[in-house]
């Protein structure tokens, strides 16, 4: 295997772990900045959560501002969805830099959907957004479209020798020298090797493998977060795990929130629409609210909850659903459902992790030379719950921040820990869960054994660390995870123990973290005049487009 080059002047030898939107975008920007870049992925290039993102990427653009949108509105929406637990500086960075990164993505070959007649960006509306500001690629295949363009450019950079790629390669350890990260240890084709680097950027995504019901593709197992933890980095907000309301029952397929943005509604077993009694934004309420409402309906009646898009055909004409949601319609037909004529049974599923490796707004962790971006990082930009379609945006904004920091003179200075206590979301490396610190296990040759090990881990997570939690269940989960990690050495069980521990300490219900034993302590900043105005605006837009 080729290795990353050594530092020459202001050029750094950079290793990026993970090849989703954050990793690929960072790699391309780093190449443009003149750094020596090695990109490592345990699967194939581009295979990630990013590739499967249906809904879109958020940005306040000239086109959205012509419809009344603005930076302040996007900031407000992000803060409200996050229950005001967001870091205001991170949110402002995310929102104000969004349009610039949309232009950069376009320069890199991403073709965003536009109105055929006017040429303006085709903007969608999703839950808890007060204006249409969601950009798409290929209608409901945004992640795939963006990743296709970025992957093509990465492969072009490889051909010119500007970038080294290692596919099907597992990073097993981060290497340290005098407390700073100096490289990685990897396993490829059964062989272990050490690769030196001046800096390492973690962009490994989420932890869907922890749950049986998840929208994540297989392989999302929290690897980067565990690597950082083992290297002594602080973690933050691990208990904030977002559940997407509409995974199709009996499948691993998620139906995008954009469908509800177009007017699809949720109905219970009796055919009754129930979200209008739950939240002023009804089906477009923040995801934690919708997920809990579906969970309650299923617990109450024991029956299914259905996503009903049949009214869209009546409103917009025959063929609208297939044209607006081609990939979703095609996939659902493969499962025996006609989206235009049949309500679809749905259930909440683990979707996105707001917590992760603690970083500042420069993507620096608390360990010198170690950076993190995307879902594996916690900049606190999402607060207690992520606003729909802010995830792809977060990936590019903070990946770019990492490359800027690595290029600067202060690149080895670590993030400074905030004055937070452990109960406020910060887990310091000294925290001990159980009697073991399991190593990272993700060798593809052990797939069958890992599948056997995952089943009990997932059962624990689904039962006790799901949409609704309580102290007794979280304590059971923490102990069970720790025992499992000790007995089998699986890092995902170690992560599960950390998450259950953090969730047990947070004795409040807020955002995506809901405690049945503390149900009335949530400070719901979303039930405000701003939110009421957002609902009116959405109704007006729906009436105008009808």
Domain ranges of the chain: 13-240+354-424, 246-348
CA 522 vs. chain centroid, Å, equals 23
What pLDDT sits at residue 5?
36
Nearest C-alpha neighbor of 261 from the set 281, 289, 288 = 281
The answer, yes or no, to whether residue 6 has pLDDT greater than 80, is no
Say how far apart CA 398 and CA 404 lie, in whole Å. 10
- What is the pLDDT averaged over residues 126-155? 90
Q: Which of 1-5, 263-267, 439-443 has the lowest mean pLDDT?
A: 1-5
What pLDDT sits at residue 544?
47
More reliable by pLDDT, 22 or 446: 22
Tell me if 111 sits within 8 A of 148, measured CB to CB: no
Tell me if 91 sits within 8 A of 58, measured CB to CB: no
**Three-point CA angle 68, 69, 70, nearest 5°:** 125
Tell me if 272 sits within 8 A of 324, measured CB to CB: no
- What is the pLDDT averaged over residues 49-72? 88
Nearest C-alpha neighbor of 406 from the set 201, 160, 120 = 201
Q: What is the DSSP string of 336-350?
A: T--TTTS-EEEEEEE
| Structure tokens belonging to residue 271 | 């055919």
Tell me if 192 sits within 8 A of 185, measured CB to CB: yes
What pLDDT sits at residue 8?
42
As a CATH number, domain 246-348 is 3.90.700.10
SS3 (DSSP) at 17? strand
Cα(first)–Cα(last) distance of the chain, in Å?
58
Say how far apart CA 499 and CA 491 lie, in whole Å. 12
- What is the pLDDT averaged over residues 46-67? 84
The answer, yes or no, to whether residue 4 has pLDDT greater than 90, is no
Nearest C-alpha neighbor of 184 from the set 198, 176, 168, 195 = 195
User: Percent of the chain having pLDDT more than 70?
Assistant: 88
Task: Name the residue with tokens 């490796």.
Answer: 357
What does DSSP say about strands 57-58 and 36-40: parallel, antiparallel, or unpaired? unpaired
As a CATH number, domain 13-240+354-424 is 3.50.50.60
Tell me if 143 sits within 8 A of 75, measured CB to CB: no
| Structure tokens belonging to residue 10 | 């202001």
CA 484 vs. chain centroid, Å, equals 26
Nearest C-alpha neighbor of 37 from the set 255, 197, 179, 272 = 197
Q: Please tell me the number of Cα atoms within 13 Å of 152 on its side-chain side.
A: 11
- What is the pLDDT averaged over residues 389-413? 95
Tell me if 121 sits within 8 A of 161, measured CB to CB: no
Active-site residue flag, 287: yes
| Burial group, residue 179, by CB count within 10 angstroms (0-12, 13-18, 19+) | exposed
pLDDT digits (tens, 9 = 90+) for 321-331: 999 899 899 99
What pLDDT sits at residue 453?
80
Q: At 433, is the pLDDT very low, low, confident or very high (cuts 50, 70, 90)?
A: low
Tell me if 338 sits within 8 A of 346, measured CB to CB: no
The answer, yes or no, to whether residue 95 has pLDDT greater than 90, is yes
**Catalytic hit among 187, 287, 386, 506:** 287
Tell me if 491 sits within 8 A of 438, measured CB to CB: yes
The answer, yes or no, to whether residue 252 has pLDDT greater than 90, is no
Say how far apart CA 289 and CA 311 lie, in whole Å. 23
Q: Which of 71-75, 320-324, 461-465 has the lowest mean pLDDT?
A: 320-324
Q: At 529, is the pLDDT very low, low, confident or very high (cuts 50, 70, 90)?
A: very low
Nearest C-alpha neighbor of 262 from the set 508, 486, 54 = 54
What pLDDT sits at residue 446?
54
Say how far apart CA 295 and CA 246 lie, in whole Å. 11
| Structure tokens belonging to residue 383 | 């607060």
- What is the pLDDT averaged over residues 112-136? 90
Classify each residue of 239-270 as buried b or exposed e, where b means 16 or more C-beta atoms within 10 Å of its C-beta: bbbbbbbbbbbeeebbbbbbbbbbbbbbbbee
Say how far apart CA 515 and CA 536 lie, in whole Å. 31
Backbone φ, ψ for residue 461 (5° rounding): -65, -45
- What is the pLDDT averaged over residues 471-484? 93
pLDDT digits (tens, 9 = 90+) for 283-295: 988 788 899 999 9
The answer, yes or no, to whether residue 265 has pLDDT greater than 80, is yes
What pLDDT sits at residue 434?
57
- What is the pLDDT averaged over residues 121-131? 86
pLDDT digits (tens, 9 = 90+) for 350-396: 999 999 999 999 999 999 999 999 999 999 999 999 998 999 999 99
Say how far apart CA 267 and CA 271 lie, in whole Å. 5
In the beta sheet, which residues pair with residue 426? 236
User: Percent of the chain having pLDDT more than 90?
Assistant: 69
DSSP conformation class of 424: G
More reliable by pLDDT, 188 or 10: 188
- What is the pLDDT averaged over residues 173-196? 94
What pLDDT sits at residue 254?
87
Helix (H) or strand (E) holding 159: helix 142-159
What pLDDT sits at residue 522?
46
Nearest C-alpha neighbor of 130 from the set 172, 76, 89, 167 = 76
Q: At 531, is the pLDDT very low, low, confident or very high (cuts 50, 70, 90)?
A: very low
């Amino acid at each position: 295997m080729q290795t990353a080059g050594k530092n020459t002047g202001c050029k750094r030898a950079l290793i990026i772990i993970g090849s989703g939107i954050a990793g690929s975008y960072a790699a391309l920007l780093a190449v443009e900045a003149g750094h020596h870049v090695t990109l490592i992925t345990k699967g194939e290039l581009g295979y990630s959560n990013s590739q499967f993102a249906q809904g879109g990427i958020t940005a306040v653009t000239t086109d959205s501002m012509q419809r009344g949108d603005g930076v302040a509105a996007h900031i407000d929406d992000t803060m409200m969805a996050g229950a005001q637990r967001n870091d205001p500086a991170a949110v402002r960075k995310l929102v104000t830099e969004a349009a610039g990164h949309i232009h950069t993505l376009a320069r890199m070959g991403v073709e965003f959907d536009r109105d055929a007649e006017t040429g303006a960006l085709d903007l969608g509306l999703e839950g808890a957004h007060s204006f249409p500001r969601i950009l798409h690629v290929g209608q409901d295949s945004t992640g795939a479209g963006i990743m296709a363009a970025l992957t093509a450019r990465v492969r072009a950079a490889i051909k010119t020798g500007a970038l080294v790629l290692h596919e099907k390669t597992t990073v097993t350890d981060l290497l340290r020298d005098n407390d700073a990260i100096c490289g990685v240890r990897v396993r490829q084709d059964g062989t272990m090797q050490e690769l030196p680097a001046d800096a390492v950027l973690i962009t490994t995504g989420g932890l869907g493998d922890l749950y049986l019901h998840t929208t994540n593709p297989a392989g999302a197992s929290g690897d980067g977060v565990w690597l950082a933890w083992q290297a002594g980095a602080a973690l933050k907000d691990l208990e904030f795990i977002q559940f997407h309301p509409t995974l199709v029952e009996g499948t691993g397929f998620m139906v995008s929130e954009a469908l509800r943005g177009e007017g699809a509604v949720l109905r219970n077993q009796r055919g009754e629409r129930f979200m209008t009694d739950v939240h002023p934004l009804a089906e477009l309420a923040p995801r934690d609210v919708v997920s809990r409402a579906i969970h309650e309906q299923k617990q109450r009646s024991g029956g299914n909850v259905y996503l009903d898009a049949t009214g869209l055909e009546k409103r917009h004409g025959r063929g609208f659903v297939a044209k607006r949601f081609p990939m979703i319609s095609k996939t659902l037909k493969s499962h025996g459902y006609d989206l235009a004529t049949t309500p679809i049974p749905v259930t909440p599923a683990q979707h996105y992790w707001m917590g992760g490796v603690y970083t500042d707004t420069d993507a620096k962790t608390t360990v010198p030379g170690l950076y993190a971006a995307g879902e594996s990082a916690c900049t606190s930009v999402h607060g207690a719950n992520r606003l729909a379609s802010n995830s792809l945006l977060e990936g590019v904004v903070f990946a770019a921040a990492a490359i800027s920091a690595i290029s600067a003179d202060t690149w080895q200075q670590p993030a400074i820990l905030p004055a937070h206590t452990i109960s406020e979301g910060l887990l310091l490396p000294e925290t001990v869960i159980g009697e073991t610190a399991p190593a990272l296990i993700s060798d593809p040759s052990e797939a069958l054994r890992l599948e056997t090990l995952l089943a009990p881990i997932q059962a624990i997570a689904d039962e006790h660390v799901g949409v609704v939690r309580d102290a007794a269940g979280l304590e059971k989960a923490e102990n069970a995870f720790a025992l499992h990690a000790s007995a089998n050495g699986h890092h995902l069980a170690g992560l599960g123990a950390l998450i259950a521990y953090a969730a047990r300490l947070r004795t409040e219900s807020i955002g995506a973290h809901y405690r049945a034993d503390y149900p009335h302590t949530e400070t719901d900043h979303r039930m405000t005049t701003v939110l009421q105005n957002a609902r009116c605006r959405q109704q007006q837009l729906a009436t105008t487009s009808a």
